[in-house]
Amino acid sequence: MVDLSVNIAGLHFNNPVAMASGNAGYGIEYQSVSGFSNKDVGAVFLKGTTIEPKLGNKPERVMESACGLLNSIGLQNPGAQAVIEKYLPKLDLSASQFIINVSGSSIEEYGKIVKMFDQTDLPAIEINISCPNVKAGGATFGNDPDMAARVVEACRKNTTKPLIVKLSPNQTDIAEGARRVIEAGADVLSAINTLMGMQIDIHSAKPTLGNNQGGLSGPAIKPVALLKVHQIYQVAKQHNIPIIGLGGIACAEDVIEFMLAGASMVAIGTALAKDPLLIKKINKNLVKYMHKNNIQKISDLTGTLELNTDTVLCR
């Protein structure tokens, strides 16, 4: 027997592979897929939610790119109260761990929406800090360690639930950003969010996305995500803070790489659009890998990367 379960911030997950926010909807959309069960996934991160309803950005909002996907959805959602009243009652909380993802346009909004979900039965809250601060001229919270820390402090004051902070890869020093949000009260780090990118139609000489730019996800960003997780782990392990790795994961080998780099579990997004049953298949292959390598607990992989020691810096 091998053990795929992991324990993070006092929460038990049946396996280390979750559905990333933005791709799993509100936990009920995938139920119509034949063969899918929430019991097969480690967790479901619900779609990003704001206090007030949002229509999102104008089209086009999703475009394929080389080895990836560009999206500019714009946090379309029905608003926190509608999610609490309409969607949460439909979830079978015994099937998996369902975790809400929240966003705000000001520090005060973050505190308010976290307080709303603190009063629900959801076990944890993921904070998306890759959002523009309307009070600071549109500067992104997650790219400024000071603003990121203030957001987490405001959220920490409004909930006793575990706080998962989703880090932006678009900041100058992600390890420093991780340190600041840990000190502000983060219980878990999630990395990475999408990289900012653009695609241009050479015939119209205009961006293909209606919002001009969007977040790049998929296999193209995996090498960047792995490095960021490794860098964050150097800080997180000093505080016993677990990491949820994401960015281009599409197979069991990818999951193992992220765990070796320091992740305690992972989340999959873009790859699920191609194969909604992918996580079930990945877990089967993880079991095969564990049997082959005489590994009893999947959690034993975390942070066991052996760095090369004879490297030479290029000048």
3-state secondary structure 163-204: EEEECCCCCCCHHHHHHHHHHHCCCEEEECCCEEECCEECCC
Whether residue 315 lies inside any domain: the answer is no
Q: Which two structure tokens, joined as six digits, stand for 229?
A: 């997780």
DSSP secondary structure, 53-99, as one string: -B--PPSP-EEEETTEEEE-----B--HHHIIIIIGGG--TTTSEEE
Phi, psi of 150 (to 5 degrees): -65, -35
Of 54, 42, 45, give the one whose Cα is nearest residue 26.
Answer: 45
pLDDT < 50 regions, the chain:
none
pLDDT of the residue at 205: 98
pLDDT of the residue at 28: 87
What are the tens digits of pLDDT across the range 140-193?
Answer: 888 899 999 999 999 999 999 999 999 999 899 999 999 999 999 999 999 999
Whether residue 26 lies inside any domain: the answer is yes
Q: What is the domain extent for residue 54?
A: 6-301
DSSP for residue 203? T
Cβ-Cβ contacts under 8 Å for 307 (sequence gap 6 or more): none
pLDDT of the residue at 133: 55
For residue 123, the one-letter residue type is: P
pLDDT of the residue at 138: 53
Whether residue 275 lies inside any domain: the answer is yes
Whether residue 310 lies inside any domain: the answer is no
pTM (two decimals): 0.95
CATH number at residue 106: 3.20.20.70
CB 130 within 8 A of CB 193: yes
Q: Alpha carbon 213 to chain centroid distance? A: 20
Whether residue 223 lies inside any domain: the answer is yes
Of 153, 145, 146, give the one whose Cα is nearest residue 170.
Answer: 145
Whether residue 309 lies inside any domain: the answer is no
What are the tens digits of pLDDT across the range 120-133?
Answer: 999 999 999 987 65
- The structure tokens 């009652």 sit at 89
Residues acting as catalytic residues: 131
In whole angstroms, give the CA distance from residue 218 to residue 233.
22
In whole angstroms, give the CA distance from residue 237 to residue 239.
5
pLDDT of the residue at 132: 61
Tell me how many domains the chain contains: 1
Determine how β-strand 214-217 pairs with β-strand 243-245: unpaired
Whether residue 308 lies inside any domain: the answer is no
